[in-house]
């Protein structure tokens, strides 16, 4: 413990606080260095006690006060209060370290970055902060002031245990503090587990659970033959995947995205992305959604992003240009050369593909992708791309998520009249179904022999 630690905070007042969880003493400590007021919520007599149950909770205005579902902070605070109130003695330290040390202003800025597709770690780093800038010296001092001999720490963060131990606090055990996973905080919790080392057993609504095994196993079995398929057919093995409502709508109207998949279905989608060499969407999806097309909700590699863009409308602000992998933009042979030069300068790679009437020939594009080493390709949308791949009979397996909604919007099948009349729509074989949250996920292989 640094020599100046005894001067960090001073106890100013204590008062009785009855709560729904139980009765506590609330102690206020003032840090003269920055004027911050830290709090200790104490249940029972802790002085001289060993193995006291302790939760060190960093302030979260958006979660603790407003009930934001972007994080699990409020749920953890209330759960810790309930668990400690059932003990003979326990302590909750409420430290003024908003946003893992960012402060409220930059925390809100980080939220805006997260809405653009960055995860919580990336957002902190982009703002010039460490992934986790919290300091536990104040916590160590307060525990000493309370004369606690040793603690059992309620936390999912092993770094918190190590930080306290380095400050001389005897931590005899780490006890998990896990709360239900919500659709709104699934990505946040996945990032805490994958990038910050938090010990989380994410088996809630947004986690990748064993219920997804049959879909993933069938996809994995099919993809194991993808290299041979590519050599034999001269193109990658193609998985078509999208989400739709009960009435077949994939959007409310063209150019306006409609969130349909639940958290568990989204985790499955990210697993599917990781299983493929590349992922393909049309320029309409990029303009409407500004997607990242990477893997965030599960552990795994990011696929190579491919965008079909016959007129090179790809925008310079696209998240794909900051995604860690150079986006490949497939365009026609007559596309504007100056626009190509500008996009290449921005970090994209342009693939010139034969076509007609201003459209990219998907068969020629797949052949080119095969030559570039892509043996498996996941096609995610939008409606025109999905329809074009089906009409061209370039789909080898289909994974569709069906959400329990009636939308009355844009449907993929609305544009398949020509295929239905002239060639016949394919029937799916080798089917499997799974219920994930409220969604039904279907996987099958189209029979193009009809």
Q: List, for residues 355-404, the tens digit of each pLDDT value.
A: 877 789 999 999 999 999 999 999 997 888 988 898 888 999 999 999 88
Distance, CA of 200 to CA of 344 (rounded, Å): 41
Query: pLDDT tens digits, residue range 191-233?
Result: 777 777 777 766 544 444 444 446 777 788 788 888 888 999 9
The beta-carbon contacts of 334-338 under 8 Å, at least 24 apart in sequence, are 334/358, 335/310, 335/311, 336/311, 336/312
Judge contact between 46 and 90, C-beta under 8 A. yes
Could you tell me which residues come within 8 angstroms of residue 281 by beta carbon, excluding any fewer than 6 positions away?
Answer: 291, 293, 305, 306, 307, 308, 379, 380, 381, 382, 385
What is the CB neighbour count within 10 angstroms for residue 408? 12
- Residue 214 has what pLDDT? 63
pTM for this entry: 0.55
| Per CATH, domain 210-447 is 3.90.1010.10 | no
Mean pLDDT of the 299-318 span: 90
Judge contact between 156 and 21, C-beta under 8 A. no
16 pLDDT more than 60: yes
Distance, CA of 283 to CA of 339 (rounded, Å): 15
10 Å CB burial of residue 260 (0-12, 13-18, 19+) is buried
Orientation of helix 213-224 relative to helix 263-275, angle to 10°: 20
R_g of the chain, CA atoms, integer Å: 27
Both tokens of 227, joined, read 């290299």
- Residue 102 has what pLDDT? 81
At 286, the pLDDT band (50, 70, 90 cuts) reads very high
Q: Where are the domains of the chain?
A: 3-97+134-195, 210-447
Judge contact between 151 and 170, C-beta under 8 A. yes
Minimum mean pLDDT among 126-130, 164-168, 422-426: which range?
Answer: 422-426
CATH assignment of 3-97+134-195, given 3.60.40.10, 3.40.50.720, 3.30.300.100, 3.40.50.10990?
Answer: 3.40.50.10990
Judge contact between 183 and 263, C-beta under 8 A. yes
């Amino acid at each position: 413990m640094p020599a100046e630690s005894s001067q960090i905070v001073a106890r100013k007042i204590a008062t009785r606080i009855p709560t729904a969880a139980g009765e506590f003493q609330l102690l206020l400590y003032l840090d003269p260095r920055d004027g911050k007021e830290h709090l200790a919520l104490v249940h029972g007599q802790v002085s001289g006690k060993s193995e006291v149950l302790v939760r060190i909770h960093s302030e979260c205005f958006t979660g603790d006060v407003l009930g934001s579902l972007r994080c699990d902070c409020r749920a953890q605070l209330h759960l810790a209060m309930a668990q400690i109130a059932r003990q003979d003695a326990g302590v909750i330290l409420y430290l003024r370290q908003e946003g893992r040390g960012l402060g409220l202003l930059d925390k809100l800025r980080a939220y805006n970055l997260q809405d653009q597709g960055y995860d919580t770690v990336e957002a902190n780093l982009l703002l010039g902060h460490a992934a986790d800038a919290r300091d536990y010296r104040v916590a160590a001092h307060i525990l000493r002031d309370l004369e606690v001999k040793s603690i059992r720490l309620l936390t999912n963060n092993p770094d918190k245990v190590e930080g306290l131990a380095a400050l001389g606090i005897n931590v005899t055990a780490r006890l998990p503090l896990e709360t239900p996973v919500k659709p709104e905080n699934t990505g946040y919790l996945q990032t805490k587990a994958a990038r910050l080392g938090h010990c989380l057993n994410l088996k809630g609504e947004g986690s990748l659970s064993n219920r997804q095994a049959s879909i993933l196993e069938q996809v994995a079995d099919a993809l194991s033959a993808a290299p041979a398929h590519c050599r034999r057919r001269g193109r990658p093995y193609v998985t078509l995947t999208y989400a739709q409502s009960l009435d077949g709508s994939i959007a409310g109207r063209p150019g306006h995205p409609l969130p349909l998949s639940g958290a568990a279905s989204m985790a499955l989608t990210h697993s599917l992305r990781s299983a493929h060499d590349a992922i393909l969407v049309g320029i309409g999806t990029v303009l409407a959604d500004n997607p990242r097309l990477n893997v965030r909700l599960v552990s795994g590699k990011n696929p190579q992003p491919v965008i079909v863009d016959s007129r090179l409308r790809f925008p310079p602000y696209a998240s794909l240009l900051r995604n860690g992998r150079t986006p490949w933009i497939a365009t026609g042979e007559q596309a504007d050369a100056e626009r190509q030069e500008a996009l290449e300068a921005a970090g994209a790679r342009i693939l010139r593909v034969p076509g007609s009437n201003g459209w990219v020939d998907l068969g020629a594009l797949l052949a080119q992708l095969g030559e570039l080493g892509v043996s498996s390709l996941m096609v995610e949308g939008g409606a025109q791309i999905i329809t074009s791949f089906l009409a061209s009979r370039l789909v080898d397996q289909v994974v569709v998520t069906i959400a329990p909604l009636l939308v009355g919007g844009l449907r993929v099948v609305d544009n398949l009249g020509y295929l239905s009349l002239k060639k016949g729509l394919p029937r799916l074989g080798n089917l499997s179904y799974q219920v994930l949250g409220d969604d039904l996920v279907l996987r099958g292989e189209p029979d193009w022999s009809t």
